[in-house]
Amino acid sequence: MEKGPLQRLQEIAAEIADLHSAAALLAWDEQVYMPKAGAPARAQQAATLRRLAHEKLTDPQVGELLEQLAAEHRGDPATDAVAAMLRVMNRKYHQATRVPAALVAAEAKAASAAYHAWLQAREEKNFGPFREPLAEVVKIQVEKAEALGYEDARYDALLDLYEPEMRTAEVAAVFARLKDFLVPMLGRLSEVLDRVDDGILYQEFDEDRQWALTLEACRAIGFDFDRGRQDRSVHPFTTACDMDDVRITTRINRGFLGSGLFASLHEAGHGLYEQGIDPAFRRSPLGSPISLGIHESQSRLYENLVGRSRAFWQFFMPKAAAAFPARLEGVTAEDMYRAVNKVAPSLIRVEADEVTYPLHIMVRFELEQALIQGDLTVDDLPGAFDDAMEAYLGLRPANSVEGVLQDIHWSGGYFGYFPTYTLGTLMSVQIFEAARRDLPHLAADMASGRFIPLREWLREHIHRHGSRFMPQELLQRATGSRLDPQPFINYVEEKYSELYGL
């Protein structure tokens, strides 16, 4: 019997998924085990896989099949998995075909040049060498946004690549509310920062014992090591070759207990999402997480709402003390709860606490949006960065490495990516609150090491759906509301007022 259009499209999508999975494994290996000398060969292998996947996706046949199937399948994606699959495939097809091949090539070339210039600029602590290459990257991103198309703001086109259907205006409105709360909150906290001491975390902690402790924490929250593994890398990350093959990484810092443990909880949160996707979506466009924001909501949930909770430390403190009897002798769960929640405004985004982290993101969102809209030039960027840091965090970078050269994202052309970190954080609180409404014993369960009810709730409401629903649709179904900063505001206000005796 001849294959129908749906089956033909599904077969193409499955092969594209296979190519992406193979590329993911090569990228994982590059950061975890590959000898340095393997880099040039690996870059070629990755480029070939990327090109093959792109060719398969942009084949005119895919466009024809999508058109044909759209006429036959007018179902509601919420109730019809085929309609949901077509929606995702349509988005990917249009994103891939709207950007001309020459622009894709120029983008990769500009990103590579800018990355090396960024490294050099950091070395010299001087923005100079990065200026021209970054201007080229911005120019190409503007062209890309124009090619992709948008209704209101040019930045929308880029934001949509990472957070489908999210709009610049909505992010700006949410961030404005957050700023009105966080800046004064930080002002109040700044008077009393020394009321919380985190000295116990900064001692010498044996690396092997830390490693074992990170595994214990991941296992406790329900990460399945028969369907995943943890390794070490310089920058922690998560990648999935399949829902049954999920790789997380962490880094261990001998002088700081928080580094490895919270990186592991964060990445295991990402990993649980990947492991929880419905196996029926394997090798299908629905078989991946729907957005970076939703992905980050899961990692932040486990890192902060679980890992930085009193209940978690009531359970985990005896385990930490058993691993480090000499270092943590006499340290109570309450001492540890306070230590892991110390607020410390700093210039470095990746070291920021729950209160100050969103402020770092707002600075970047404001600036990158202005660059893409044409309201700010690359020449004026370093000064604008320092001014914004001072306005949001009350700190002024002493040099460009602490300032505008801090993050890798812009060198790679990742404009529209930063906001997803904070969107994820806001959604993590909304989702955790919804879980708590359904699981009245959640805190008591966590305090006694029972984390499976939470994982199962997340699996049911978030994980298993993969890309079936658009992000805000998924959030609405899981929590009863779309993106709303108020639960995060309430959470920070209550938690930190109590911790700091405000």
Q: What are the residues binding Zn ion (CB under 5 A)?
A: 299
- CB nearer Zn ion, residue 299 or residue 356: 299
191 is catalytic: no
CA neighbor of 166 nearest in space, from 422, 423, 384: 423
State in angstroms the smallest separation of the CB of 299 from Zn ion: 4
Q: Which of these is catalytic: 136, 163, 267, 296? A: 267
The CA distance from 213 to 207, in Å, is 10
Nearest-CB residue to Zn ion?
299
Q: Are the CB atoms for 142 and 154 separated by under 8 Å?
A: yes
HSE toward the beta carbon, residue 35, CA cutoff 13 A = 2
Rounded to 10°, the helix 39-58/5-32 angle is: 160
Q: Which residues contact 325 (CB under 8 A, 6 or more apart)?
A: none
What the block records as the tokens of 208 is 């092997």
CB 180 within 8 A of CB 326: no
* 155 burial via Cβ count (<10 Å: 0-12, 13-18, 19+): buried
Name residue 451's amino acid.
Answer: F
Residue (21 or 299) nearer to Zn ion, CB: 299
Least distance between Zn ion and beta carbon 118 (Å): 21
The DSSP-derived string for 51-68 is HHHHHHHH-HHHHHHHHH
Handedness of CA 380, 383, 387, 393 (dihedral sign): positive
Residues that are catalytic: 267
